[in-house]
Structure 1
Amino acid sequence: MNPKARSNRGMRIWGIIEKELKKEEVSYEVYFTEYPHHATDLARVVTEGGDYLTLVAIGGDGTVNEVLNGVVRLEQITFGYIPAGSSNDFIRDLHLPVKPEQALHNILHPKYYKNIHLGQITCGDTIRRFAVSSGIGFDAAICHEALKSRFKNFLNKLKLGKLTYMGIAFHQIVLCKPELMTLHIDGCKTFQFPRTLFLAAMNCSYEGGGFRFCPKANPEREALDFCIVHGLSKWKVPIPLLAAKKGHHTRFKGVDTLRCRKARIHVDTPLAVHIDGESCGFQTDLDIECSKETLRIIAGC
């Protein structure tokens, strides 16, 4: 449970959840995160014994990421999620309930399960899983800024947190410096994209608060979808960006998509990298792939 989710509204959501758990007389243990990546440490401790259990994350996409990176053996858990973040992109393709009471009911009385794959990113000595997406360039720079944005906290208090990424996006358009990007996929094909704004590696179809960058991405498939935006002048960027809310951006020149299981990415100048909206610093070389192992998740309808 991330008490600081959505600008410290997490404890209010926990109060709702706790009341329902007591009403249904459910046996459970709760762990509250206290610092960045604490959820990873907690999940590792909880799962290292090898017991089969139901593990539930309450927070945003970043909390989901931290929890899944701490799980020792994915095959030994059933994963449940109660969204409490600003964007909650993880729930969209899985059709999970938004309201805490409904999300909890879905977990306590499950009707549908899905076995989903996760993405994995390697940069230097760091290896991390991701559930929703990873990216390099413009979209990652947006995530970096959002993590420290007072504007995000202000909008969250007004229940308008989803506008955070849109506002920051226009700021980052001014700052961004497109780079030549080389992409090797599945060890057999090489592409070069001049003046690349960003590359998004998508396990799910949405990121950034509902931008459908890869409309055909499916976490149940053992493959990742990639969206590469390149060769556009800055004043043209907002047009496909806005169209991405409906997944219509792929019709524009300078927007390419492809699907593969493994990819190696290189840029000469270090660019911002994100993993499920969390910062992974600035990198020049990345290896991204879809895992063969699957995670059993309590899904919606």
Structure 2
Amino acid sequence: MRALLVVNPAATTTSARTRDVLIHALASDLKLEVATTEYRGHARDLARQAAEGGEIELVVALGGDGTVNEVVNGLLHNGPALDSLPGLAVVPGGSTNVFARALGLPNDAVEATGALLTALHERSERTVGLGLAGAVPGSDDEGAPARWFTFCAGFGFDAGVVGRVEQQRERGKRSTHALYIRQMVRQFLGDPHRRHGTITLERPGEEPIENLALSIICNTAPWTYLGNRPVYAAPGASFDTALDVLGLRHLSSAAMTRYATQLLISSPERGPKGKHAVTLHDLTDFTLHSQAPLPFQMDGDHLGLRKSVKFTGVRRALRVIV
């Protein structure tokens, strides 16, 4: 099998020596080409070239969730085509690796490589659904291209936290869970919309849901991890269904404490609940509008401010070796 390995050299948890070992192991079973990313968006460009070239059968992403997201968007640049596009494999190298862990892969890069080789020998694969987020016709972002996400998107509060973390990383801070918690507290203290939400969720044939201060869109569960602890914002979300949504209307100090505690003790059977919480399951099409520009993120990548985003849940979008 001819494969392309896309390596992010800045991946948080893999050294150059570890990467060399992984490349050697994969090359023993695959006709392997190796490409190292050099700029933001490079993994997307490499995966697109592989998809359009017609010779690569498998693209392996070695990196964190951001690298995986870029590879997925490159593979699906012209839309899903299960029979003709290369499959995807993931070797986790980031700080959290939500997508890889949601697939059941080990969080250690060496162990995950072993699992990948076993899957290749056994020809084990699955198809996964993905989320697609794009501009709303007539909005200020109408010309912006749609973008795929693998495990989550956020509009409002949680995207603001992601943006703050990115700013800290650009200043040289390491991506740690403690960093996320500090930035969450700062976002909470500085968010002008947390008490009176500006987001409205609209879906075909249903009444709008108004005044959301936070909206988390999940394509799978868990939503994220704190160390080795999985956190479930939408326990019912799955790669086999469309999209789930958790919305919160009010983020006072008491409400924030309550919902943060519920997230910390969440499980596959129990997620956040309460009078300010809105939970929706298996949505194929919906739109989020805001009265004011709000932060927007997908798969942990901050994408700036938006006033509206259209979401689509696409079942069976991509083949994954697992």
Aligned 8 A contact 1:165 1:208 in 2: no
Can you list the C-alpha shifts for 1:104-162, whole angstroms capped at 9, x where unaligned? 12222205422111100002222000001111001111111112224996555xxxx23
Identity of aligned residues (%): 27
Which among 188, 193, 201 is matched to residue 183 of structure 1?
Answer: 201
Distance 1:10 1:278, change over 3 A: farther
State TM-score, norm by structure 1.
0.88
1:137-176 correspondence runs (5 A): 137-150=156-169, 154-156=173-175, 161-176=176-191
Secondary structure of the equivalent of 1:213? coil
Which among 106, 109, 130 is matched to residue 118 of structure 2?
Answer: 109
Secondary structure of the equivalent of 2:129? strand
Aligned 8 A contact 1:20 1:101 in 2: no
Aligned 8 A contact 2:234 2:271 in 1: no
Question: What is the root-mean-square deviation of aligned Cα atoms in Å?
Answer: 2.2
Which segments of 5 or more consecutive residues in structure 1 lack a partner in the other structure? none
Can you list the C-alpha shifts for 1:251-290, whole angstroms capped at 9, x where unaligned? 3331221021111111110000001111221001110011
Q: Report the CA distance between 1:85 and its aligned residue.
A: 0.9
Which among 6, 14, 27 is matched to residue 12 of structure 2?
Answer: 6
In structure 2, give the amino acid aligned to 1:81: V
Secondary structure of the equivalent of 1:251? coil
Distance 1:64 1:152, change over 3 A: farther
Distance across 2 between alignment mates of 1:152 and 1:87: 20
Aligned 8 A contact 2:216 2:247 in 1: yes
Aligned 8 A contact 2:233 2:263 in 1: yes
Q: Report the CA distance between 1:163 and its aligned residue.
A: 3.2
2:3 paired residue number: none
2:274 paired residue number: 252
Distance across 2 between alignment mates of 1:275 and 1:218: 17
Distance across 1 between alignment mates of 2:25 and 2:285: 43
In structure 2, give the amino acid aligned to 1:211: V
Secondary structure of the equivalent of 1:217? coil
Q: Report the CA distance between 1:225 and its aligned residue.
A: 0.3
Q: Report the CA distance between 1:54 and its aligned residue.
A: 1.2
Aligned 8 A contact 1:174 1:234 in 2: no
1:200 paired residue number: 216
Can you list the C-alpha shifts for 1:48-94, whole angstroms capped at 9, x where unaligned? 02346111101111111111111145522221101111111112321
Distance across 2 between alignment mates of 1:278 and 1:150: 12
State TM-score, norm by structure 2.
0.83
Secondary structure of the equivalent of 2:35? coil
Distance across 1 between alignment mates of 2:8 and 2:261: 31
1:216 paired residue number: 236
Which segments of 5 or more consecutive residues in structure 2 lack a partner in the other structure? 1-6, 136-140
Distance across 2 between alignment mates of 1:205 and 1:215: 6
Distance across 2 between alignment mates of 1:241 and 1:91: 24
Which among 37, 45, 49 is matched to residue 45 of structure 1?
Answer: 49
Aligned 8 A contact 2:160 2:295 in 1: yes
The structure that is helix-richer by fraction is 1
Distance 1:266 1:49, change over 3 A: same
Deviating 4+ runs (over 6 angstroms): none
Secondary structure of the equivalent of 1:28? strand
Matched residues, number: 290
Q: Report the CA distance between 1:249 and its aligned residue.
A: 4.5
2:4 paired residue number: none
Aligned 8 A contact 1:144 1:279 in 2: yes
